[in-house]
Amino acid sequence: MRRLAPAVARPGTAVNLDRAGYRVRVRIEPNRATRPSRVVVTLGRSGRRIRRARVTLALTMLGMPMPPQRYALAETTPGLYTCTLAAPGMVGRFGVTLTVRPPDARTVTVHFVDLVVST
């Protein structure tokens, strides 16, 4: 169920989301309209990193009809998943859906808002 006030990923801060026993931590940098951004996600459960999950991200601009952009993250370090987002081209609030498929557990989905700012 979506929370009424979703977590917001702002430049320079991480978002922590707890869902179904998982701790999902997300950083998006630099979150600028004219530059690609790096997404770094860590997955934990009971204090342990989750490895070999399949992690995907869908991005839509809130309040503007545009097709979602979808990305698959790569596990670049054990339990740490990354991807690079194309420069969004505009400032504003983007809705992010992050889907985590752990190797031996149910799929976990979290939602948050990504705030893209100007330079």
Q: Which stretch binds Cu ion (CB under 5 A): 1-9, 35-43, 86-94, 101-109?
A: 86-94
Paired with 100 in beta bridges are: 55, 108
90 binds Cu ion (CB under 5 A): yes
Q: What are phi and psi of 6, to 5 degrees?
A: -70, 155
Number of chain positions touching Cu ion (CB under 5 A): 3
64 binds Cu ion (CB under 5 A): yes
Nearer to Cu ion, 60 or 82 (CB): 60
What's the rounded Cα separation, in Å, for the pair 112 and 119? 22
Chain residues 22-61 in contact with Cu ion, contact rule CB under 5 A: 61
CB within 8 Å of 101: residues ≥ 6 apart = 53, 54, 55, 107, 108
Q: Which residues of the shown chain bind Cu ion in the complex (CB under 5 A)?
A: 61, 64, 90
